[in-house]
Chain A
Amino acid sequence: MTLNSLFRNVTAAAALLVSVSASAADDKVVIYNWSEYIPDGVLEEFTEETGIEVEYNTYESNEVMYSKIKIQGATGYDVIVPSSYYISKMSREGLLADIDQSKLTNLKHLDKSLLNKDYDKGNQHSIPYTWGSTGIGINTDDIDKSSISSWKDLWDAKWQNSLLLTDDVREVFQMALAINGHSANTRDAGEIKQAYELLQKLMPNVLTFNSDAPREPYMAGDVSLGMIWNGEVIMAQEEMPEIDYIYPSEGVILWVDSFAIPANAEHKDAAHQFINFMLRPEIAARTVDYIGYATPNKDALELLDEETRNNPTIFPSQAIINRGEFQEDVGDEATALYNDYWEKLKAGM
């Protein structure tokens, strides 16, 4: 091949590519979600019904999602699923688009008590998708379930080099703060420091950090005790019923993940259609079945079978909810402090 023809071919290929990649029309929606957070088949059904093509990307932490959105100038993705404390931060910084509730005909199915929360008054920027908790995961074949009942139990020296913790700074700190009797959303430097000192003592017990699929090390047999998200336990129980979930006595970590639309998203209309689709009771019920997290969709509850509806791992009692605490934004200064200690802990200090 001569240099000339090579040059021509390359230019042609490049031109073709540009035209293909630039043809992103309005019949497309780009979703950025936590890994394994949407039931199989739902995306295909959405495309079949609406003709809107779905592009799906995943992340494993709010921080990474936030950074990507920030770096790209709140565009590129059309639907994101931040946790509550990131909703307040991102809307403060103008990174979220206003949600046109008139386009969300299925909004009426949601439980009013989960709407209009402090982190997003009037739900201008977010619509709750799921809510869940982070508690203690245990392999009941390896460890006697009755011997573990609190976060503090994880500090026992006999668990050296064997625990799993979620790779999430706020969640891990919430454990220590709860043990010390402080709020999970404290901005007090003294209280945060005390939590850090308590966590220093926990580090020798940690085998691995995992926020991609915390159930995986449990299922592979490498871990029998540690933190885990409640939905992960439900998913694990399909193959290994000996994996179980414990609500710690100091109070479980509660969180809400919501749909949001980045401020400069290209396909806002498709985004609204997608959110509306996900708000259907049948879809919400399937979500509970598949990913094991509770839904704010009250009409979906009726569609669930009794066993699921009464499963305490998915739907904790009101008493447990009251003892636990929902995560909220703590402001930039405290966040930086938490991050600082987190890095120290990971660096082995």
Chain B
Amino acid sequence: MKDVIEGRVWTLGDDVDTDQIIGGKYLTIIDPNELKKHVFEIALPEFAKGALAGDIVVAGINFGSGSSREHAPQALRAIGVGAVVADSFARIFFRNAINLGLPTIEAPGVRKLFETGDTARIEMRAGKVANARTGAAVTFPPLPHHLLELLEVGGLVEKVRKELEARAGKATA
């Protein structure tokens, strides 16, 4: 995880739930590269074709509410989305995204600062999101230490792998 994340912005509204991120009919798809073709099909149809690695999603309140489907952050990660910033998140989406190593930032007031096409600059440790075009910015409480650490190692898979390796190392030592 970089401390400063910069990218082109796509904006979404409030209450974009998981059905609007990835519809129920795609839930049997396992391959993230297949999934990413259907992301935001309902909420923002032009996203799947137009989004590039490094782009940043800026949403309103309660982003990712609804089901526990990890397909939602997985599809965003497959596109290479640099970060998801929202006024607020639903809890399972937030956990899933962080566990996958996708920087997920809750910054109340952020949505109204951006339009699609703007450039966002996020300072993870300082807790600041700014719009490069307008200069407008909001601050947010930086993620707690253990979550920054989780992003740092690249997500939960890496973190548990290290822990299991350390355990095995001890067992054989």
A and B held together in a complex: no
- Contact residues of A with B, CB < 8 Å? none
